Chain A
């Protein structure tokens, strides 16, 4: 089945230690998104790629970076994680980014910062 895969499902890192979360998709979608979801809150868009074009949300901290080496893979890099970055990180895809399109979400990576 076509799907969005996130690895690992759970990630533990230390305060200030860089961490990378990965997302892959078999849907061959052009657009990939990263959301941050803190406990009991709605997912919040961090940034997205339309093909190779990177689009950062205005309020996304500089501590968060992303890479998309090819259509299938997208990475979220947190350069110096703080305690406030502990959250669920959701990757999603859509075919061409149209506003009416469905976004397909992966199962998420839960990040714990010690």
Chain B
């Protein structure tokens, strides 16, 4: 079965620091890949997705992710963290159906 693995259930950064959230997928065929964000007691909101074409994908709120087939990775980055980025982030793949990784809680401290 296709799946994604998020490395690190909790990531803590300082405001203004680089954000890096890791996601690896398992698939013999490059899947469609997504990053969603979930704020407390809210639904999920799409940050960005990779379907085909350019491997560097830009999303909302200054986030971007790069699809690397050789590393089977789709890590999420943001150059400078804001307090408002504190949330839980889910990597997902939709080979068959949308399946999420276990999530990474991002904490941003002053």
Binding site for B on A (CB under 8 A): 4, 6, 9, 40-43, 45, 57, 90, 92, 99-100, 102-108, 110
The stretch among B36-44, B66-74, B75-83 that forms the contact with chain A is B36-44
Closest Cβ neighbor of B43 among chain A residues: A105
CA distance in complex: A30, B46 (Å): 19
> Which residues 87-103 in B have Cβ within 8 Å of A in the complex?
90, 94-103
Contact indicator B43/A107 (Cβ below 8 Å): yes
Q: How far is the CB of A19 from chain B (nearest CB, A)?
A: 19
Q: Are B44 and A90 in contact (CB under 8 A)?
A: yes
A102 touches B49 (CB 8 A): yes
Are B100's CB and A100's CB within 8 A?
A: no
Range class of the B interface residue count: 20 to 34
- Smallest CB separation, A42 vs chain B (Å): 4
- Partner-A contacts on B (CB < 8 A): 32, 34, 36, 41-46, 49, 51, 90, 94-103
What is the distance, in angstroms, from B36's C-beta to the closest C-beta of chain A?
Answer: 8
Q: Please indicate the chain A residues that have their CB under 8 angstroms from the CB of B43 in the complex.
A: 4, 6, 90, 92, 105-108
Output the nearest chain A residue to B49 by Cβ-Cβ distance.
Answer: A102
Contact present for A99 and B90 (CB under 8 Å)? no
Give CA–CA (A103, B51) in the complex, Å: 14
Do A99 and B102 form a contact, CB below 8 Å, given A105-B44, A107-B42, A108-B41? no
Kindly list chain A residues whose C-beta atoms are within 8 Å of the C-beta of B95: 99
A99 to B36, CA, bound (A): 15
Q: A100-B49, A102-B49 are in contact. Are A43 and B94 (CB under 8 A)?
A: no
Q: A99-B32, A100-B49, A102-B49 are in contact. Are A43 and B44 (CB under 8 A)?
A: yes
Listed residue (A6, A41, A105, A110) with the most chain B CB atoms within 10 angstroms of its CB:
A105
